[in-house]
Amino acid sequence: MGATLAEKIIARATGRSVRPGEIVTCKVDLAMMHDSGGPRRVKPILERLGAKVWDTDKIVVISDHYVPATDADSAAILELTRKWVSDNAVARFYDMQGICHVVLPERGHLRPGLFVVGGDSHSPTGGAFGCFMFGIGATEMAGVLVTGETWLRVPETIRIDWSGQLGPGVCAKDVMLALCARLGMDGGDYQVIQYTGSLIARLPMQERMTLCNMATELGAQTGLIAPDPITASAVAAAGGGTIDPAEWQGDDDAHYRETLAFAAAELAPQVALPHSPANAGPVDAVSGERIDLAYIGSCTGAKLADLRMAAEVLKGREVAKGVRLLVAPASRRETATAASEGTLATLIDAGAVMMPSGCGACAGYGFGVLAENEICISSTARNSRGRMGARTAQVYLASPYTVAASAVAGRISDPRELMGESA
Amino acid sequence: MTQAGKAWVFGSNIGTDQLAPGLYMKRPIDEMARHCLEDVDPRFAAEVERGDVVVAGRNFGMGSSREQAAQALIHLGISAVLANSYGGIFYRNALNLGLMVLISPDTDKLHAGDRIAVDPERGIVRNLTRDETWACEPLPAHLTDMVRAGGLVPYLERKLAHNKDQSS
């Protein structure tokens, strides 16, 4: 029997062929940490063990959770991060350059076939580049930093196949919300979710990143998309060099736990009700609900592609009176591109307030959090109670299209209604 | 067998945002722990006693990679967690930090306040209040040892010291 793509990457990292269910130790090609779970937490462990970092060239540190500092506590965490990076001569340090899951591929660090760990739960985002990349906690990260290795139980692969084309105003975020509703928050069962099908073959890289990013919300260990010419162009454009997609494909006779098939054309814009992404359904069910805040941010929902979706809806329109639209682009570089191409001007003209590139309000760490009983529609990945601020706040999750349309209406709205008419 | 502790019963999909609220992520663990699960049961952090057991349904600890989720439960003195299943990252974090996390399909048989003891190696859960015994998945001996040592770091420290003793 052949091997899936995930099994091939794990086999390469452990040095022999593998079967699902086996526990194997793998050599780590790259370890990525951020300011919250990184130096701040691994430094005391390394000191206690009297151990040094195995290979500083295989480490990337990115500050994104507490940037820019909002108080003395966050400033101290950032200072510690900068000092640790300097003391340990870590060359690949991106300070306030954006959210780790977007900065890592943007700077050419991801290529198909790599075995990568990240100190953050949305690390499966890297699967869009054909990497086996998953999230770990700080103690495990300390173990990786000392040994250059980690263990895992070889996961099975669940194939999720989307055929056809998405309609106007519908995007990868809607695909993921629909899957959360269908499979539940543990439907991924800590296995690999590999996305396939004619829809995926046409999706641009940033939309693929959204699919893999939210494999986390399905409870998968990681998400994965086999590399193709779109992957090769993205890797080359980021300075990651030339890759051969044919090198990293699953075998035709590989075993999949199951294959679930969906038709893209039937999908309507989705909205997840408070307080779980699994509470998703077509926007119709909740359209008309009043909102206080529309939030476009995070690794899930503020990449350049997401900003463009919002701009497409907001062009020539204005945010409704009494509603705040906050936009925190996922990286500084993407902010620059959005500025030069005019996307940023469209957002600002419509009334958006621009925020720093970072995790921001998504996990309640940064600016823009919610007061008691406020209602928000957000392009982020999670809406558990209290995550974005006050415990009684209500957070709805949706695509950048739907968040932008709702900002204009002041109420949760189907973006197709606005997109069908000229402004 | 662990010492008996009182059961705190929760449902499915209890996430890291509830266990370690983002609002307190910048603060030391003692402060964080006071807010552990406050969104689900405001009495929990104030009334939980050393040795108590957390009982839950499916996907306990889903969400973030933040270790403070497991660390807060340890700080509050939780002796074991019994759930149908766990979020993958939380499960690894818990064992690495020395929190006994056990898988049992039968957690719905437990009621809040029942006195529970567990034997992780043999895979036994004993309900002393109702005089019932049932099975949980046993934890492999090396993981039980690691949890009893207080997690991966003290476990490695002890092993390193042992190796040094043997070589000297």
CB contact under 8 A, A386 and B152: no
Per-residue pLDDT at B14:
97
CATH superfamily entry for domain A5-263: Aconitase, domain 3 (3.30.499.10)
B23 near A CB under 8 A: yes
Per-residue pLDDT at B168:
60
Q: What is the DSSP letter of A56?
A: G
- pLDDT, tens digit, 9 for 90 and up, residues A52-111: 999 999 999 999 999 999 999 999 999 999 999 999 999 999 999 999 999 999 999 999
Per-residue pLDDT at A420:
79
Q: Is the pTM of this model over 0.95?
A: yes
CB contact under 8 A, A137 and B85: no
Helix (H, G, I), strand (E, B) or coil at B161: helix
B152 near A CB under 8 A: yes
pLDDT (average), residues A216-243: 98
Pick from B96, B65, B42: nearest CA to A363: B65
Q: Where in chain A is the domain with CATH 3.30.499.10?
A: 5-263, 269-419
pLDDT (average), residues A37-42: 97
- pLDDT, tens digit, 9 for 90 and up, residues A253-301: 999 999 999 999 999 999 999 999 999 999 999 999 999 999 999 999 9
Q: How far is CA A146 from CA A28, A30, A49, B142, in A?
A: 11, 13, 9, 20
The residue with tokens 């991801």 is A110
Sort out which chain A residues have CB atoms less than 8 A from B27's CB and list them: 73
Q: Nearest-CA distance from A6 to chain B in Å?
A: 17
Residue from B26, B35, B71, B153 to probe the interface with A (highest A Cβ count within 10 Å): B26
Do residues A209 and A235 touch, judged by C-beta distance below 8 A? Answer: no
Sort out which chain A residues have CB atoms less than 8 A from B59's CB and list them: 185-186, 219
Pick from A412, A378, A394, A388: nearest CA to A177: A378
pLDDT (average), residues A161-170: 98
Per-residue pLDDT at B142:
87
The mean predicted confidence, pLDDT, of chain A is 97
Q: Read off the pLDDT band of A366 (50, 70, 90).
A: confident
Q: Is the pLDDT of residue A31 over 90?
A: yes
Q: Which CATH class is domain B5-167?
A: alpha beta
CB contact under 8 A, B27 and A48: no
Q: Is the pLDDT of residue A422 over 70?
A: no
- R_g over Cα of chain A: 21
Q: Other CB atoms closer than 10 Å to residue A421's CB: what's the count?
A: 7
> What architecture does CATH give domain A269-419?
2-Layer Sandwich (3.30)
Where are chain B's structural domains? 5-167
B163 near A CB under 8 A: no
Q: Compute, in degrees rounded to 10, the torsion defined by CA atoms A395, A396, A401, A406.
A: -80
Per-residue pLDDT at B166:
76
pLDDT (average), residues A340-345: 98
Which residues lie across from A290 on neighbouring strands? A411
Do residues B65 and B104 touch, judged by C-beta distance below 8 A? Answer: no
Sort out which chain B residues have CB atoms less than 8 A from A384's CB and list them: 15, 17-18, 63
Give, for all 168 residues of chain B, the pLDDT tens digit. Answer: 778 899 999 999 999 999 999 989 999 999 999 999 999 999 999 999 999 999 999 999 999 999 999 999 999 999 999 999 999 999 999 999 999 999 999 899 999 999 999 999 999 999 999 999 999 999 988 899 999 999 999 988 887 777 777 776
Q: Is the pLDDT of residue A162 over 60?
A: yes
Do residues B96 and B151 touch, judged by C-beta distance below 8 A? Answer: yes
Closest chain B residue to A222, measured at CA: B88
